[in-house]
Amino acid sequence: MKISDVKVGETIIADDGFTCMDAGAKVVKATKHGLCIDCRDGEHYLDGQQGDDGELIGLRRAAIQGMMTRYQPGEKARRAGVA
């Protein structure tokens, strides 16, 4: 998987080779510095995980998207007092 294949909000899986985070599902977010995932140090930027061939090292795409993320209620639900 290359960084160009990753989208904001997508769930990716980190392996156990990171010292700044536990292995498992992570949700990709964007900051002004680029695409990242949360870690114990704050943010772990995906561009730092690119190998010589452009493939992301230690990260893979989750098999089923949307199954590992928490529900985020929409504005309509918040205004209705449901969320």
Domain ranges of the chain: 3-63
- pLDDT category at 68 given cuts 50, 70, 90 is very low
Mean pLDDT of 22-43: 96
- pLDDT category at 54 given cuts 50, 70, 90 is very high
Q: What is the pLDDT of residue 73?
A: 52
CA distances from 12 to 39, 45, 74 (A): 13, 13, 23
What contacts 56, CB < 8 A, 6 or more positions away?
Answer: 1, 2, 3, 6, 46, 49, 50
For residue 19, the number of C-alpha atoms closer than 13 Å in the C-beta half-sphere is 0
How far apart CA 10 and CA 78 sit, in angstroms, is 23
How far apart CA 51 and CA 49 sit, in angstroms, is 6
